[in-house]
Structure 1
Amino acid sequence: MLPDPLVIKGNLNLENSQIRQLPNTLTVNGNLNLAYSDIEYLPAQLHIGGYLNLAHSKIAAISEGLQVQGDLSLMGTQLTKLPSHLYVGGDLYLANSSITELPEYLVVKGNIYLGGVTITYIPDQAQIDGTIFQ
């Protein structure tokens, strides 16, 4: 069990970890790597200064209003919905995910990489500064 609250000044790498729960209040000033982990839910009080890698993790839901200053990778996850007011300061990676719609008030400062995923709805309120690549 990790301490709560937890502040990491650098990066936190939990790739392939069997940790199922993060502290309720978690600040990672660098990157948070949860790829291939057993994490199902992110804490409501999550602050990430770099990228968030959830590729091939067991993530089931993401809290509304999540802000990631760098890239967000959701490749290979079973997520079916992104939260409204999601902010991604870099690129958004959705390849091999189950996402079919982009959420209301999505902000992506970089590109969106679909990797073959078909997006059926992009709301007017979404702000995508880069390009959407199939």
Structure 2
Amino acid sequence: MPSERWREQYETGLEPIDAQHRGLFEALDRLAGALGSAAEGRRDESRVDEELAFIVQHIIRHCQTEESLMKEMGFPGRLAHAEQHLELIHQARDLQYRRLKGQRVDLEVVAFLGAWLDHHICESDLAYVAYLKDHRSA
């Protein structure tokens, strides 16, 4: 079962952002647990749906938080960053839609979301955080 863990490299130094990122990784671990119990023949589909719904809502709130910070500080890459967020929200919502249609969601979903977050935090988020820190001190 994949495990999506918080890593020190994800630290931005902005506690609200770091707390939300940690919350996303914790939610992915809970989803992995709910999905992994299927291998033991005791998958709780309602728990899978609950964890997936929590992740989608957490992603939306988190993206709103980041985009508000970027707008407030005049981050020039804000629109491109927001497009990345929108792509993730659409993919997460699609997972929910597929579940509503009765399709199974497997552990690959956890791996995909974890890899997306890893790349996004390390590339995009750390870039805007550096900009914010530079402009807050200026």
TM-score greater than 0.5 by the shorter chain: no
Bigger relative contact order, structure 1 or 2 (CA pairs below 8 A, ≥6 apart): 2
**Structure (1 or 2) with the greater strand fraction:** 1
TM-score (norm 1): 0.20
Which protein has the bigger helix share? 2
The two structures have a TM-score, normalised by structure 2, of 0.20
